[in-house]
Amino acid sequence: MAEATATQGEVRPLVPHLTLGETRDQDYLNGSVCKKCGTKYVGPRLFCGVCSSDGPFETVRLANTGTVHVWTIIHQATPYVQAPYIAAVVDLDGGGSVNTNIVGIEPKPENMKFGMRVKMFTEKVSEDREGNSYIAYRFTPIEGEN
């Protein structure tokens, strides 16, 4: 069924702070900088929760590398997600923090460390009934930097 409908559907980002390129290696995270107070947000914003203004906002491209601030290993997951997996908050180089999954390493506490260097990639994670595909970002450890 997936094969029959996949070609007709759209390819969409799962979250608004992911901008899709022509190919997956062109995808990037977007952010907004409030021109009034300089606060950098992940994703689009219409209003600024720091200086209580309507910006304006400059859309910026966020880094695709960063460091793990904190992590947890989820063993009891929602039904459509395979557990265990690593959920983390990653601080992006140059500003902005994102929630993400860390993949490419076995989800065990001894494999994780605070400040671990990680790099983003994107992939299709789901498809809806109309055949639209959803792309999400994930992070993986940077070889040689940890």
Q: Is 65 in the site for another protein (CB under 8 A)?
A: no
Q: Minimum distance between the CB of residue 91 and another protein, rounded to whole angstroms?
A: 8
Measured over the CA atoms of residue 103, residue 108, residue 111 and residue 114, the dihedral's sign is positive
Q: Minimum distance between the CB of residue 4 and another protein, rounded to whole angstroms?
A: 17
Q: Is 137 in the site for another protein (CB under 8 A)?
A: yes
**Residues ≥6 apart with Cβ < 8 Å to 2:** 127, 131
Span from 20-28, 58-66, 74-82 in contact with another protein (CB under 8 A)? 74-82
Q: Minimum distance between the CB of residue 87 and another protein, rounded to whole angstroms?
A: 4
Span from 20-28, 55-63, 120-128 in contact with another protein (CB under 8 A)? 120-128
In angstroms, rounded to a whole number, what is the distance separating the alpha carbons of residues 88 and 100? 5
Q: Minimum distance between the CB of residue 54 and another protein, rounded to whole angstroms?
A: 17
How is residue 115 written in tokens? 């400040």
Question: CA geometry: angle at 75 spanning 69 and 81, to 5°?
Answer: 95
In 3D, which of 74, 70, 69, 63 has the Cα closest to residue 119? Answer: 63
Interface contacts to another protein, rule CB under 8 A: 14-15, 39, 41-42, 49-50, 69-81, 83-85, 87-89, 91, 97-101, 109, 114, 125-129, 132, 134, 136-137
